[in-house]
Structure 1
Amino acid sequence: MLVTELCGVTLKNPVIAASGTFGFGKEYAEIFDISRLGGISSKGLTLEPRFGNTGERVYETASGLINSIGLQNPGVEAFIKEDLPFMQKSGAAVIVNLGGHDLDSYLKGVELLDSQDFDLLELNISCPNVKAGGMAFGMEPATAGHVVKEVRARCHKPLMVKLSPNAPDLVGVALSCQQAGADCLSLVNTFQGMAIDIYRQKPVFDNVFAGFSGPAILPIALRMVYQVCAAVEIPVVGLGGISSAEDAIAFMMAGARAVQVGTATFARPTAMLDIIDGMEDFCKQQKLAHIGDIVGAANPGFRGRR
């Protein structure tokens, strides 16, 4: 009823733990059976280890969360030795999220990962391109297409590209990634936001701006997924503020083949299990043979395959 195929990978259900919100699954494995998840997307990796940003890193706001973690991670080589073996035994599909701050670091990271045993590579193109003045790779179609094309040439895994909602032409970026060889897309990443400490009269974060996520972004994320699903023919994984089965079902009706859940897990560690159970109940109530029957149902322009 919930089994989902994504780029040739079989997921036991369409619910994936979003990158950056679930670590590598170890901590949550002490709380619930993570093998029930459809997939786990790893903490965002970079070629070299990163400590992340200084100062305040997480700030709660109305119906959301602002984070300035800064891609803290052990680096690709340490991940392969120390964390990937656990993920391989998790019972969920293994998705490895990779970022980079110049094209060379992306390509070296892919070359190290490509021979490893995992299911999908999720390419995070929201990272700042240090050789282009700090503008994120995913902010404009030509740059996004170039990095995806170069990675595609070296990556023999199914390639999912994670898009930034901050791009002025998100649909154009999505189409460029499709043309460059992406097998599927995931969207949206966090929105750019900020917070001010009124007593210190300063921004809360050292980097001033940070990533905004949580229920408050859902209507905008849903609209963006809807628009991209009406433009591309490859599968889309939807995310952005999902905290209930109803939210996840709405994203799938907009055209998403699967969903990722992030911020909701911080507030309620078993949120994804509740979503999985709720999806199954919905299928039974609506007499649906398979959850995939709803993909694109509310989107007349949907161009993908159900």
Structure 2
Amino acid sequence: MPKADLQVNIGGLPLRNPVMTASGTFGYGREFENLVNLHRLGGIVVKGISIQPRPGNPPPRIVETSSGMLNAIGLENVGIERFLTEKVPYLKTLRTKVVVNILGDSLDEYAYLAEKLSGHEGIHALEVNISCPNVKKGGVAFGVDPEMAKAVTAAVKTATDLPVMIKLSPNVTDIASMAQAVEQGGADSVSLINTLIGMGIDTSSRRPKLANVIGGLSGPAIKPVALRMVWQVAQAVSIPIVGIGGIETAEDAIEFLLAGATAIQVGTANFYDPQATEKIITGLHQYLYEQKEICVRSIIGTIRLGSST
């Protein structure tokens, strides 16, 4: 079977194929080196990095749910200094694009991280987690207010020459308006969706299953919501979209591409099938061969609406 051209470009970030890993589900990359061929992936998005190290929330902080997972890890990470000295030396040996997810509690923190991560071999783009609380605005998350989302996007873009991808929260009334706001702020691309908010209760003890009570819902259960939001955003912006949410098979990934995504990220599936990303790449080649398509770009946004007659 001849191999199709899987190359895509995400707002100035060229990828050998559209299959990436999602932040928070793939560690810092090295954790999976004996489980998956990292060099074959389109890109790796490392777990979110903050200025200071974060210990995260107390356990229990991961709970299995019907067709998914609840997590309240609490953005645990090593902090920017240790990331640069301990993690980047390995990442720069990979023949795969590396995207660093960043998070902060103020515009200044986001800008500082963006500047600090610029100019390093092995770091090819930034993904900005705007689901964090803005401590100067009463704790309201950047990702639920268009003006704040636009402001943090502009702050990051001013501080770096790296391509900037904004990760959108689904916990909003109008996802399209949020995408338009960050596009106006200068975003090179958007990724969506981040986790939905959920909870679980142990009926025996009558206590929350998560120590944090609520957490982020991910996995196959959220795929229809994510797919719908990607399709809506594709109608509203002109910048590339990276689809995230319950993707575990090539068919899942193809649905997101047809809906308008240029690339996808695999998240929760990495926990129970570490080779899911490679299987998706193989499946993309098979699908394009069967569809008589010579490149993946030709199917992006080609969903057929209306009557089939």
TM-score w.r.t. the length of structure 1 is 0.96
Could you say what secondary structure the match of 1:16 adopts? Answer: strand
Q: Who is 2:83 aligned against?
A: 79
Whether contact under 8 Å (2:56, 2:75) holds in the other structure is: yes
Q: What is the CA-CA distance between 1:5 and the residue it aligns to?
A: 1.8
Deviation string 1:92-116 (CA, Å, 9 cap, x unpaired) is 1110100112222212211211222
Unmatched runs of 5 consecutive residues or more in structure 2: none
What SS does the corresponding residue of 1:109 show, helix, strand or coil?
helix
Out of 136, 141, 159, which is 2:141 matched to? Answer: 136
1:1-306 matches, within 5 Å, as 1-117=5-121, 118-298=123-303
CA contact (8 A) 1:192 1:209 kept: yes
Contact 2:6-2:17 within 8 A present in 1 as well: yes
Q: Is the 8 A contact 2:167 2:193 kept in 1?
A: yes
Q: Select between 177-186 and 118-127 the one with higher mean Cα deviation.
A: 118-127
Task: Give yes or no for contact 2:112–2:159 (8 Å, CA) kept in 1.
Answer: no
How many residues matched? Answer: 300
User: 2: CA distance between counterparts of 1:197 and 1:299?
Assistant: 44
Contact 1:67 1:211 in 2 (8 A): yes
Q: In 2, Cα distance between the equivalents of 1:5 and 1:85? A: 25
Unaligned runs of 5+ in 1: 301-306
Deviates more, 1:2-11 or 1:152-161: 2-11
Q: RMSD between aligned alpha carbons? A: 1.1
Quote the Cα distance in structure 1 between the aligned partners of 2:101 and 2:268: 17
Runs of 4+, deviation exceeding 4 Å: none
TM-score computed with the length of structure 2 as normaliser: 0.95
* Alignment deviations for residues 144-190 of structure 1 (CA, whole Å, 9 cap, x no partner): 11111111111110110000000222111110000010000000000
Query: Which is bigger in relative contact order (C-alpha 8 A, separation at least 6)?
Result: 2
Q: Which amino acid aligns with 1:120?
A: A
Contact 2:132 2:141 in 1 (8 A): yes
One-letter amino acid of the structure 1 residue matched with residue 39 of structure 2: S
Report how far residue 205 of structure 1 moved: 1.8
Distance in 1 (CA, whole Å) between partners of 2:283 and 2:112 is 41
Identity between Structure 1 and Structure 2 (%) = 47
CA deviation after TM superposition for structure 1 residue 18, in Å: 0.6
The separation in 2 between residues aligned to 1:193 and 1:159, in whole angstroms, is: 28
